[in-house]
Structure 1
Amino acid sequence: MTNASLVPAVIHEVPLQYYVFFATALFCIGVTGVLIRRNAIIIFMCIELMLNAVNILLTAFAAYRADPNGQVFVFFIMAVAAAEVSVGLGIIVMIYRNFQNTDVNLLNRLKW
């Protein structure tokens, strides 16, 4: 069994450029959300959106090259994203308990 036979036939029906354009759009939406929004929960959601855009690209390139290394990187990115969410949500909950708001502009009070 060769590596080419491991790649699903459906992946090759969609051109690689479509995956690149889709991932680029997701990443740009995530960057825009991080820069514009002030709610900490939405900022974390936008960071997750950017990580998922990278995962889509890695998976698409790995499928087109018939190389599982990209999917291994996706696994590690998902593990880092899960750790980031757990720590981030813990911080957001503590901020909400103290300030009754999740606006990141209020975090300059933490300097004291």
Structure 2
Amino acid sequence: MPLVLPLLLAVVLFCLGVYGVLSRRNAITILMSLELMLNAVNLNLVAFDAWHLDGLATGQTLAVFVITVAAAEIGLGLAIVLLLFRGHGHVDADAARDLVEHEESAT
């Protein structure tokens, strides 16, 4: 299989993920879009590893590390989303931006 086919698929997946992160306001959809972007990176790592044929499987090893980091990121992200939903009844990312507490200036 030529290298360009998995790379084109990875570009399409990454662009869909970027579009999802930039255009959506729902926190769950943003997390799913981030996962799509990480899967595109995994596809690139594995495709270049298969193309390079060095015998060390470094691309596949890095892909396993990316999957591990993605699982931790999703676990933490879903915990934050659940706390946001329990406390405020919505998972709107724009409204969550307004929840930041500002320090009172000491005068």
* TM-score, reference length from structure 1: 0.85
Secondary structure of the residue aligned to 1:102 is: coil
- The one-letter amino acid of 1:73's match is L
Aligned partners of 1:61, 1:74: CA distance in 2, in Å? 11
In structure 1, C-alpha distance between the alignment counterparts of 2:82 and 2:88, rounded to whole Å: 10
Structure (1 or 2) with the greater helix fraction: 1
Structure 1 gap segments, 5+ residues each: 1-13
1:16-54 CA-partner distances (Å, limit 9, x unpaired): 101111000000000000000000000000000000000
Aligned partner (choices 94, 98, 104) of residue 109 of structure 1: 98
Sequence identity of aligned pairs in percent?
45
Q: CA RMSD in A?
A: 0.9
- Which residue number corresponds to residue 41 of structure 1? 28
Distance 1:60 1:108 in 2: 38
| Structure 1 equivalent of residue 82 of structure 2 | 93
Give secondary structure in 2 for the equivalent of 1:15. Answer: coil
**CA distance in structure 2 between the aligned counterparts of 1:105 and 1:65, rounded to whole angstroms:** 43
Residue number in structure 2 paired with 1:10: none
Residue 15 of structure 1 aligns with which residue? 2
Where does residue 31 of structure 1 map in the other structure?
A: 18
Ranges in structure 2 where 5+ consecutive residues have no aligned partner = 102-107
Q: Give distance in 1, aligned partners of 2:100 and 2:77.
A: 18
Any idea what the Cα deviations from partners look like across 1:41-87, whole Å, max 9, x if unmatched? 00000000000000001001101112300001001100100100110
1:83 aligns with 2:57: no
Equivalent residue number for residue 37 of structure 2: 50
Query: Who is 2:52 aligned against?
Result: 65
Aligned to 2:104: none
Structure 2 distance, partners of 1:15, 1:108, is 44
How far does residue 109 in structure 1 lie from its aligned partner after superposition? 3.2
Task: Give the match for residue 105 of structure 2.
Answer: none
Q: How many residues align?
A: 99
